Amino acid sequence: MVKSTAPTLEDVARLAGVSTASISRALNEPDKVAATTRQKIEKAIDTLGYTPNFGGRALASSRTNTVGAVIPSMANAMFASGLQAFQEALAVDGVTLLVATTGFDSEQEFRQIKSLVGQGADGLMLIGNDRPDKTWDFIDKRRVAHVVSWCNVSREGQYFAGFDNARAAGDAAERAMTLGHRRIAVISGQTLSNDRAKARRDGVHAAVARFGDGARITHEVEAPYLIDDAAAAFDQIMAQAEKPTVVLCANDALAAGAMMRAREIGISLPDEMSFVGFDDVGLARVITPALTTVRVPQIEMGRAAAQFLLAKIGGETDLSSTTFETEFILRESLKPPLVP
């Protein structure tokens, strides 16, 4: 686009009868400019409809007031409200958000990170801590301020704002077992370069082993994060000799998909089969039976990640990671098994 219409600092300077330096000061450190000149300047800015050129400013100050978020997908409600909170917290400080998605692919994540850094992002919010060395190398080499979220691990000297996936998933499994379930199926998310999915799966395994008393995993399937994949995963579970009484799912969308399939093949819910999701997105409450799930502290994480990043960009060094609590939400989809 031809920005021929955009007035520059020089235009303002001419109109106000001062130097460009004064205007820059008036904009960035108003105290250092005399009140009278400041007024002249403000008037000139107003009549010209001037807005600072981003490129010029970025070039001269090497600050962009932009941070990037790289998330797996926008098409999933999972990250939406956290991202929203992240954006709102940034907006308070006049920082804008660049969003990029990876489609759960680490190559694409690398590309997106490079692109965002090239765009001048002052900082980066990343989901999870599991990515190839070359990606971390790039981040380290460029000294990109960053924070990881949705997990509670980070590399040496780096920080996270997240929660304990393993514990949350293990806790959910334990609740199911306490209600009497012993034959447990697991629909896991894709664990390849996805530490959250891995942690959730491992958390379930550990909880089952710890519980003992005959509790076991009848079958475990990995499914991408989509409703349709869940149906296939559920079919696979039901193709096993030993059928489960409860299905633990890596997220609510998978649970909803699996439940839909279960009903299609004539299983009555929740009596004949229990389901547990993860995330507590909006649909968990509205499906029937309402989905038992784990609430993820999305908003808290988004806000904390923003504040952390702003502080780090601002040069603060006294920072620390935060682990937020998840909450087990018991709804109708989880009932004691009819036959133990």
Q: How far is the CB of 26 from DNA (least distance, A)?
A: 8
Q: How far is the CB of 8 from DNA (least distance, A)?
A: 4
By CB under 7 A, tell whether 307 contacts DNA.
Answer: no
User: Which strand ranges, in their side-by-side order, compose the sheet holding 274-276?
Assistant: 216-222, 183-188, 246-249, 274-276
For the window 52-71, what string marks contact with DNA as x by the rule CB under 7 A? xx-xxx-xxxxx--------
DSSP letter at 244 equals P
By CB under 7 A, tell whether 37 contacts DNA.
Answer: yes
DSSP letter at 94 equals T
Asked if 296 and 258 touch (Cβ cutoff 8 Å), the reply is no
By CB under 7 A, tell whether 43 contacts DNA.
Answer: no
Which whole-number Å values give the CA distances from 73 to 57, 108, 258, in the listed order?
Answer: 31, 12, 21
Q: How far is the CB of 61 from its own copies (least distance, A)?
A: 9
Q: Which two tokens stand for residue 320?
A: 């620390």
Sites of contact with its own copies (CB under 8 A):
1-6, 49, 51-60, 62-64, 66, 73-77, 80-81, 83-84, 87-88, 94, 96-101, 114-120, 122-123, 137-138, 141-145, 227, 253, 256-257, 259-260, 263, 282-283, 285-288, 313
Which lies closer to DNA via its Cβ, residue 44 or residue 221?
44
How many CB atoms sit inside 10 A of residue 237's CB? 23
Answer with the entry of its own copies, DNA, none that 15 interacts with (C-beta below 5 to 8 A by kind).
Answer: none
Please say whether the dihedral angle defined by the alpha carbons of residues 254, 298, 159 and 64, taken in this order, is positive or negative.
Answer: positive
By CB under 7 A, tell whether 115 contacts DNA.
Answer: no
By CB under 7 A, tell whether 314 contacts DNA.
Answer: no
Answer with the entry of its own copies, DNA, none that 120 interacts with (C-beta below 5 to 8 A by kind).
Answer: its own copies
How many residues sit in the footprint of DNA (CB under 7 A)?
33
By CB under 7 A, tell whether 8 contacts DNA.
Answer: yes
Residues 6+ positions from 304 with CB-CB distance below 8 Å: 161, 322, 324
Which lies closer to its own copies via its Cβ, residue 47 or residue 178?
47
By CB under 7 A, tell whether 173 contacts DNA.
Answer: no
The stretch near DNA (CB under 7 A) out of 17-25, 202-210, 292-300, 312-320 is 17-25
The stretch near DNA (CB under 7 A) out of 20-28, 238-246, 253-261, 330-338 is 20-28
Which lies closer to DNA via its Cβ, residue 24 or residue 129?
24
| Class of residue 84 by CB neighbours under 10 A (exposed 0-12, middle 13-18, buried 19+) | middle
SS3 letters across 286-332:
HCCCCCEEEECCHHHHHHHHHHHHHHHHCCCCCCCCEEECCEEECCC
Among 14, 20, 115, 235, binds DNA (CB under 7 A): 20
Q: How far is the CB of 305 from DNA (least distance, A)?
A: 25
By CB under 7 A, tell whether 28 contacts DNA.
Answer: yes
DSSP letter at 133 equals H
Residues 6+ positions from 166 with CB-CB distance below 8 Å: 199, 200, 202, 203, 206
Q: Which two tokens stand for residue 30?
A: 């108003």
Which whole-number Å values give the CA distances from 184 to 17, 210, 273, 334, in the listed order?
Answer: 77, 14, 10, 12
Question: Which residues contact DNA by CB under 7 A?
Answer: 3, 6, 8-10, 17-25, 27-28, 32-34, 36-38, 50, 52-53, 55-57, 59-63
